[in-house]
Amino acid sequence: MKKEENLMEEIVSLAKRKGFIFPACEIYGGLANSYSYGPYGVELKNNIKKLWWDTFVKQRSDIIGMDGPILLNTKLWEASGHTEGFNDAMVDCKKCKKRFRADHVVLELTGKDMEGDLDGMTKVLQKGLKCPECGESDWTEVKNMSQMFKTEMNSVSGPIYLRPETAGAIFVDFKNILDSTRVKIPFGIAQIGKAFRNEIVARNFIFRIREFEQMEIEYFIDPEAEWEPLFDDWLDKQEEFAMMLGAKKEDLRRYQHPKEKLSHYSKKTVDVEYNFPFGFGELFGLAHRGNFDLTQHAKSSGQKLEYSDAVNNKKYVPHVLEPTAGLDRLILTSLCSAYAVEKLENGERVVMKFPKTIAPIKIAVFPLMKNKPDLVKKAKEVFDILKMKYMCEFDDNGNVGKRYRRQDEIGTPYCITVDFDTIEKDNTVTVRDRDTMAQVRVKTEELKNYFIENL
């Protein structure tokens, strides 16, 4: 087994053991590749969402937010082309009954990218390519399978769908946003929310799942304006965001989609990829989508989806740049980037070196001993003060060394220990730094300022 595969297993195991992420509904045997975020996972997830929202909405004057529903009018997905064309190529091995994404298996076995060419892939597979699972060569024909999750609503006739992306809701609410705000082009609309795709093969932990979260922006621009500098700037911003989560620059790369693979309306699409233990995979996408979406929805709904440009005295359907991110993939990036095993004099420690902004717990508070009421009382007082501002944890279980190890494994930047000097001498506590393991003594009344400076 490759070292990288071990590394992924270690991260998945830590995620379960420490309550970041575990298989959902496990007591009933789970459900293929569906995961729950546990107590530390949900903190990490919320911190990443907040950082994204702060960076791209709160700290900018040209981007506003919205939150649309998961269930939307089916006409939206017909107009966007999803009901007809949101498909993946599927192939089954007749011997072991294992199902594959045909383009992925062909690429893996031949190195050829044949995405979209169903007949070509059938021919190549049936020429004798061996099933990666059982080693036999007995394939079905390659067929398209819709990625749309279909459901029904009592008050509506015909199928409705769980949204396969958050972007759709932004386009159909474009008019309401123009009418209710004073936005001026260029401007963006941002949304965070769940998306659902009936993936043929979900894999690599939370990298490819069927229910996931996206953080998307539709950035509307004047069709006649120069867009390349904006496009490049968005790519830089996406990479910078990945680095704010702990990714190293050298673990990021850009993949530009070749011209012949672009949709007819797209001028350019580039993915930002991260070097996961299983190889490079897409984190962000950035697409120039022209005016395709607004034009389609205008045609289909009969409503005008135009922008009146008072500055230049013209009316037009804006073009759009779409920077999009997968939240679960960013969480996986933060876990992979943070994971470290360090040699110590007396063994080793596993430490999650999350950037402080996204660490699930910021401060852990310990009484040196749990059977000394004065120590416990003082430690609780410190905990009660700090928890009003920071996500804190109180731990009085086991020796302090073990408590440090526990906090290292969940990536807590600071641990405070209340000891006898605190109550008998000078009202100071020890503050231990996760990364350097250095300890300093800080007066309890100065703790608030200490953390304002350090967190």
Residue 212 sits in the site that holds ligand GAP (CB under 6 A): yes
Stretch that binds ligand GAP, among 110-118, 324-332, 375-383, 404-412 (CB under 6 A): 324-332
CB neighbour list of residue 295: distance below 8 Å, 6 or more residues apart: 305, 317
Q: Is 394 exposed, middle or buried (0-12, 13-18, 19+ CB in 10 A)?
A: middle
Q: What is the dihedral of CA 47, 52, 57, 63, to 10 degrees?
A: -160
Asked if residue 223 has a cis previous peptide bond (ω within 30° of 0), the answer is no
Rounded to whole angstroms, what are the CA distances from 314 to 224, 306, 307, 317? 11, 10, 8, 10
| Binding-site member from 12, 283, 359, 416 for ligand GAP (CB under 6 A) | 283
Which region among 101-109, 174-182, 326-334, 335-343 touches ligand GAP (by CB under 6 A)?
326-334
Nearer to ligand GAP (CB atom), residue 220 or residue 383: 220
Least Å from the CB of residue 189 to ligand GAP: 13
Residue 412 contacts ligand GAP per CB under 6 A: no
H or E stretch covering 395:
none
8 Å CB contact between 47 and 223: no
Determine the Cα–Cα distance for residues 406 and 387; give it in Å rounded to an integer. 19
- Selected from 48, 91, 167, 298, the binder of ligand GAP by CB under 6 A is 167
Contact between 293 and ligand GAP (CB under 6 A)? no
Three-class SS of 46-100:
HHHHHHHHHHHHHCCCCEEECCCCCECCHHHHHHCCHHHHCEEEEEEECCCCCEE
- CA dihedral (356, 360, 363, 369) in degrees, to 10, reads -140
Least distance in Å: CB of 185 to ligand GAP? 20
Q: Does residue 329 belong to the site contacting ligand GAP (CB under 6 A)?
A: yes
Should residue 163 be labelled a site residue for ligand GAP when binding is judged by CB under 6 A? Answer: no
Task: Identify which of residues 167 and 364 has a Cβ nearer to ligand GAP in the complex.
Answer: 167
Among 174, 284, 414, 451, binds ligand GAP (CB under 6 A): 284
Min CB(68)–ligand GAP separation in Å: 13
Least distance between ligand GAP and beta carbon 167 (Å): 4
Q: Which of 276, 270, 317 is nearest to 293 (CA)?
A: 317
285 binds ligand GAP, rule: CB under 6 A: yes
Beta strands 35-37 and 87-92: pairing type?
unpaired
Q: Which of these segments, 135-143, 206-214, 417-425, 434-442, binds ligand GAP (CB under 6 A)? A: 206-214
How far is residue 231 from each of residues 161, 265, 282, 383, measured CA to CA in Å?
A: 31, 16, 17, 46
Nearer CB in complex with ligand GAP: 283/335: 283
Q: Cβ neighbours of residue 6 under 8 Å, at least 6 residues apart?
A: none
Residue closest to ligand GAP (Cβ): 326
Considering only 34-42, 208-216, 365-373, 400-408, which stretch makes contact with ligand GAP by CB under 6 A?
208-216
Q: Tell whether residue 403 is a contact of ligand GAP (CB under 6 A).
A: no
Of 214, 412, 422, 430, the one binding ligand GAP by CB under 6 A: 214
Q: Interior CA angle at 46 toward 40 and 48, to 5°?
A: 105
CB-wise, 223 or 281, nearer to ligand GAP?
A: 281
Those residues whose C-beta lies under 8 Å from the C-beta of residue 333, and which sit 6 or more positions away, are 242, 245, 246, 247, 274, 276, 283
Report the nearest approach of ligand GAP to the CB of residue 411 (Å).
22
52 lines the binding site for ligand GAP (CB under 6 A)? no
Interaction site with ligand GAP (CB under 6 A): 165, 167, 197, 199, 208-209, 212, 214, 216, 282-285, 322, 324-326, 328-329
